[in-house]
């Protein structure tokens, strides 16, 4: 009887992981709504066609690379190779910041090419781009903050917790924002 109960408990999803998946579902619904509105709105006569800046391409590579480092950080943590874990988690967080910088450079390039992004004189196409990309950046920022918390814990001499739940939750979220960006990037490039 005791074995059956412990097997049942092992099959349960951790509450933090469950909460993350509920959040991911909500975020997916939000972006599904935004991309659906984008499709409807782009059929209007005042829709401006323009290519995404090249820095968005570079940012896509950066976020994919960051997911590789995130995977390696989880693998290192589980193997208790803490110095490698610290290195990979640092690289992941750094690439998250580089991703945000490249996005900023992209918006600056659009502005320099005369595309009014927001406000009076802006075009719905540019405004949709800003809203969609900035909402994604907000989620990336949340991921970077979580990564920084994990990094602080890794360098803290007081904390010696070897439970992998926290790093698995952060990893799942980070891979999610990566996949979400790839979806958005493909959508914004080829749904015109």
Per-residue pLDDT of the chain (192 residues; tens, 9 = 90+): 455 545 555 678 878 888 888 889 999 999 999 999 999 888 887 788 888 999 999 999 999 999 999 999 999 999 989 899 999 999 999 999 999 999 999 999 998 888 878 878 778 888 889 999 999 999 999 999 999 998 888 887 665 667 788 889 999 999 999 999 999 999 998 875
Which token pair is 57?
A: 């391409």
Instruction: State pLDDT tens for residues 49-79.
Output: 888 999 999 999 999 999 999 999 999 999 9
Q: What are the extents of the domains in the chain?
A: 51-190
pLDDT of residue 157: 63
CATH topology of domain 51-190: 1.20.120
Cβ contacts of 91-97, under 8 Å, gap ≥ 24? 91/66, 92/66, 92/147, 92/174, 93/144, 93/147, 93/148, 93/151, 95/62, 95/63, 95/65, 95/66, 95/69, 96/63, 96/66, 96/140, 96/143, 96/144, 96/147, 96/174, 97/144
Residue 140, helix vs strand vs coil: helix
pLDDT score for 3: 52
């Amino acid at each position: 009887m005791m074995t059956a109960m412990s097997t049942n408990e092992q099959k349960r999803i951790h509450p933090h992981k469950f909460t993350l998946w509920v959040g991911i579902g909500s975020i997916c619904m939000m972006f599904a709504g935004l991309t659906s509105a984008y499709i409807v709105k782009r059929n209007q006569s005042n829709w401006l066609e323009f290519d995404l800046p090249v820095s968005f391409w570079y940012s896509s590579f950066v976020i994919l690379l960051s997911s590789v480092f995130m995977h390696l950080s989880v693998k290192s943590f589980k193997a208790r190779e803490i110095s490698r874990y610290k290195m990979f988690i640092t690289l992941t967080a750094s690439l998250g910041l580089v991703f945000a910088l490249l996005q900023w450079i992209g918006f600056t390039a659009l502005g320099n090419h005369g595309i009014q992004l927001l406000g009076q004189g802006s075009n719905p196409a540019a405004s949709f781009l800003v809203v969609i990309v900035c909402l994604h950046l907000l989620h990336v920022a949340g991921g970077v903050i979580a990564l920084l918390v994990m990094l602080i814990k890794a360098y803290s001499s007081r904390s010696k917790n070897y439970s992998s739940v926290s790093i698995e939750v952060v990893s799942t979220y980070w891979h999610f924002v990566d996949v979400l960006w790839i979806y958005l990037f493909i959508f914004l490039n080829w749904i015109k």
